[in-house]
Structure 1
Amino acid sequence: MSKTARQSGAGEALPTIGEKMSYGLGAVSDVIMANVVFQLAMPLYNVELKVPATLVGLAVSLPRLWDAFTDPFMGNISDNTRTRWGRRRPYLVAGGILAGLFCALMWMPPRDWSEMQLFWYFLVASLLFFTAYTVFSVPFNALGYEMTSDYDERTSVMSYKTFFMNIGSALFLPWLWKMMNMPMFGKDPIEGARNVGILIGVMVMIFAFLPAWLCREKARGQSQSKIPFFHALAVTFRNRHFLMLASIVFTVIMGIFLVFPLILYLNLACIYDGDKDAASQMFGLYNTVYGVLGIVSVPLINYASRKLGKRITLVAGLCIISFGFVISPLLFSRDIPELQLIFPVLASPSLGCVWILTASMLADICDLDELNTGLRREGMYGSVFTWLVKAGLAAVMALSGFIIDWSGYNPDQAMQGVQTQMFLRGFFALVPLAFLVAALLLTLRFPLTRERVSEIQLELARRKSEQEGDPQLQGNV
Structure 2
Amino acid sequence: MTRLNRVNNTENSELKLSQKLALGSGFFCLLFLEKACEILAIPFYQMTLGVDPFLFSITLTIPIIFSAFLAPWVGKLSDNCTSKFGRRRPFIFVSAWLSASLFGLMWMVPEHWSTDNQLLYFFVISLLFYAAASFYSVPLTSLSYEITKDAHQRIKVMETNSYFIKLASMSNQWLYPLATLTIFSSTFVGIKAVGWFTAIFVIGIIGMLPALYVKENSVEPINHPHNNFTVVENVKSIMQSHLMRLVFVIIFIQLGIGAYAAKMDYYVLVYYMFDGNISDGAVWKAVLSMGYAIIAAIYIPIVSWFSRRIGKLATLKIIFIMTAIGGGAKWFIYTPGVQWLILLDPILCSAIWTSMTIIIPALVAQASDQDHQTHKISRQGGFASVYQWVVALSIIFALLASGMSLNIIGFDASLANAQSSNALLSMKLILSLGTIIPSMLAVFLLNKYQKSHKDT
User: Normalized against structure 1, the TM-score is what?
Assistant: 0.88
Residue in structure 1 matching 2:285, options 283, 295, 303: 283
Of residues 421-430 and 296-305 in structure 1, the stretch that sits farther from structure 2 once superposed is 296-305
Partner of residue 190, structure 1: 188
Q: Could you tell me how far apart the structure 2 residues matched to 1:325 and 1:218 are? A: 43
Q: Distance in 1 between matches of 2:199 and 2:294?
A: 23
Tell whether the 8 Å contact from 2:43 to 2:278 is kept in structure 1 after alignment: no
Whether 2:154 is the aligned partner of 1:151: answer no
Counterpart of 2:405, as a letter, is I
Q: Over aligned residue pairs, what C-alpha RMSD do you find?
A: 2.1
Q: Which moved more, 1:295-304 or 1:121-130?
A: 295-304
- Assess if the C-alpha contact under 8 Å between 2:333 and 2:345 holds in 1: yes
Matched, 1:80 2:83: no
Instruction: After TM superposition, give the deviation of residue 445 of structure 1 in Å.
Output: 4.4
For 2:440, the equivalent position in structure 1 comes to 437
Runs of 4+ in 1 over 6 A off after TM superposition: 447-453
**Structure 1 unmatched runs, 5+:** 1-6, 454-477
- Counterpart check, 1:363 vs 2:371: no
Aligned pairs for 1:266-277 within 5 A: 266-277=268-279
Confirm whether residue 400 of structure 1 aligns to residue 402 of structure 2. yes
Q: Which residues of 2 match residues 6-155 of structure 1 at below 5 A?
A: 12-155=12-155
1: CA distance, partners of 2:172 / 2:30: 12
Deviations 1:173-215 (A, max 9, x none): 121121121123x222222111111111011111111111110
Taking structure 1 as reference, are residues 452 and 440 closer, same or farther at Cα in structure 2, changes over 3 Å only?
closer
Aligned to 1:304: 306
Cα drift, residue 296 of structure 1? 1.9
Aligned to 1:294: 296
Would the aligned equivalents of 1:364 and 1:448 in 2 still touch at CA under 8 Å? no
Give the conservation status (yes or no) of the 8 Å contact 2:271–2:277: no
Asked if 2 retains the 8 angstrom alpha-carbon contact of 1:249 and 1:439, the reply is: no
Q: TM-score, normalised by structure 2?
A: 0.92
CA separation of 1:247 and 1:175: change in aligned 2, threshold 3 A = same
User: How far has the Cα of 1:393 moved from its partner?
Assistant: 0.6
| Aligned partner letter, 1:279 | G
Structure 1 pair 23–46 and aligned structure 2 pair: CA distance change class (3 A): same
Q: Does 1:345 align with 2:344?
A: no
Cα displacement (A) at 1:255: 2.0
| Number of the residue aligned with 2:412 | 410
Indicate the SS of the match to 2:347.
helix
Per the TM alignment, residue 447 of structure 1 is displaced from its structure 2 partner at its CA by 6.2
Corresponding position of 1:419: 422
Structure 2 distance, partners of 1:127, 1:447, is: 40
The residue type paired with residue 347 of structure 1 is C
Distance 1:75 1:288 in 2: 33
Give the match's secondary structure for 1:152: helix
CA-CA distance at 1:324 after TM superposition: 0.9
In structure 2, runs of 5+ residues without a counterpart are 1-8
1:409, distance to aligned residue in structure 2 (A):
2.3
Q: In structure 2, what is the Cα distance between the partners aligned to 1:255 and 1:394? A: 11
Alpha-carbon shift at residue 15 of structure 1 (Å): 2.1
- 1:151 touches 1:450 (CA, 8 Å); kept in 2? no
> Which secondary structure does the structure 2 equivalent of 1:430 belong to?
helix
Q: CA deviation at 1:228?
A: 2.8
Partner of 1:217: 216
- The 1:188–1:19 alpha-carbon spacing in structure 2 relative to 1, beyond 3 Å, is same
Counterpart of 1:236 in structure 2 is 238
- Residue-pair matches, total: 443
Partner residue, 1:179:
178
Q: Deviations over 1:324-372 (max 9, x none)?
A: 1111110001131211111122222221012210100111101110121
| Contact residue 98 and residue 132 of structure 2 kept, 8 A | yes
1:9-34: per-residue Cα shift (whole Å, max 9, x none)?
Answer: xx832423332222111111001111
**Is this contact kept in 1: 2:142–2:384, CA < 8 A?**
yes
Specify the alignment match of 2:204 in structure 1: 205
